[in-house]
Amino acid sequence: MCICINCMYVNNCVTYQKVMKQHCSSFIKSQAKFNPSQPIISVNIYYYKKSMEIDWDIIECLSFLDSPARWVKL
């Protein structure tokens, strides 16, 4: 699971918006301006019923500041 949903910068993070774009999500409304320090992105590939699914998650980031359920406020 992406740690960003509990990060203070979730609504303004360039890397998070790139990951959400990979998920084909359209809920991001604003243009991100914050560049996080050393985010680590995990890409998992699953095969399900003869099709491939890709899951992108940010699993580590030096800029992470805990703000539980910050994504709810988006």
Q: What is the pLDDT along the chain (74 residues), one digit of tens a residue?
A: 789 889 999 888 999 989 888 877 766 667 889 999 999 999 999 998 889 989 999 999 999 999 987 767 66
Residue 43 domain boundaries? 3-73
pLDDT in the model for residue 27? 61
pLDDT in the model for residue 15? 93
CA atoms within 13 A on the CB side of 17: 15
pLDDT in the model for residue 58? 95
Helices and strands per DSSP (H, E), number in the chain: 1, 2
pLDDT in the model for residue 11? 85
